Every structure is written in C-alpha cells, then in structure tokens.
Amino acid sequence: MTEHAADHGRTDNGGSSGRRSRSLFRVPRNSPLWGRLGRSIAIWFCLMLFGLTVGMAGYSGFEGMGWRDSYLNAAMILSGMGPVTELKTDGGKLFAGTYAIFSGLVIVLATGVVLSPIVQHVLHVFHADTDDDERKG
C-alpha cells in the first residue's frame, strides 16, 4: 500500500482497510442539515400550494373555468410552461399576466428557501465563517 493510499484508508486496489475516510459530500444522519432541509422543503410545499390555490381561484373566478381546468392552467403557469386554455375575458387576461409575474417571484423565492440550507452546509464544510474573521481583525 502506498503512503497516499494509507492516508485515505484505501489499498492500492481501491478496497477499504476498515477505516472510513471523511468525504466532503457525505452528510451524517444526525446532521442538522437534514432538519433544515426538511423545514425548507415544507416551506417550499406551502408556497407552491398557496400559489396554486391563488391561481385556481383566479381562473375559476375571472374565466369561469371548472376546478380541473383552473388547476391545469394554474399549474402550467406556476411551473413556467404558460397557459393552456385561451382566455376570453379582459379580467382573466389581466389576472393571467399578474399571476405569471407572481408565479415567477414565487419560484425564485421557493428556490432560495430550498437551496439556503445546502449553501449554508457547504460554507460550513469549507469553514467560511465570518465570526472567525471578525475576531482576528
């Protein structure tokens, strides 16, 4: 076994010598990351459900669509695909434009909520801590 392989707990053929090497991407099961990620996904789910409910109510109220068509149009706009049904009323068209802007903001916000614990974990792994910098300076 070479000295480099011994440092990582592996033999030359890639096997393990029984000692576990610490990987930057292996997250222990008891890490606080999992709790933070679970909360972030729950918040994401609530944001998406709220956005979908607003869209369904708007399409049902302004365009007189049934709940299935309202759901289809709201889900397609919320996911960034665009409307499915041709809009007939001026109120429905104004709602669709406003809802499309709202949906874009919800997607950006929800993405930030889900990615924040992952980015925080990566910064923690690489020891990017501002408190240490302030104490030294």
pLDDT digits (tens, 9 = 90+) for 71-123: 999 999 999 898 899 999 999 999 999 999 999 999 999 999 989 888 888 88
CA-wise closest residue to 102 among 67, 63, 53: 53
pLDDT at 6 over 50: no
Whether 74 and 56 have beta carbons less than 8 Å apart is answered as yes
pLDDT of residue 32: 79
pLDDT of residue 5: 46
Domains contained in the chain, CATH given: 1-26 (no CATH), 31-136 (1.10.287)
Whether 99 and 50 have beta carbons less than 8 Å apart is answered as no
Mean pLDDT of 3-14: 47
pLDDT of residue 23: 59
Whether 21 and 6 have beta carbons less than 8 Å apart is answered as no
Which residues on adjacent β-strands are paired with residue 10? 16
pLDDT at 133 over 70: no
pLDDT bin (cut points 50, 70, 90) of residue 11 is very low
**Verdict on whether the full-model pTM lies above 0.75:** no
Burial class of residue 58 (count of CB atoms within 10 Å of its CB; 0-12, 13-18, 19+): buried
pLDDT of residue 60: 96
pLDDT bin (cut points 50, 70, 90) of residue 24 is low
pLDDT of residue 20: 57
Residue type, 90: D
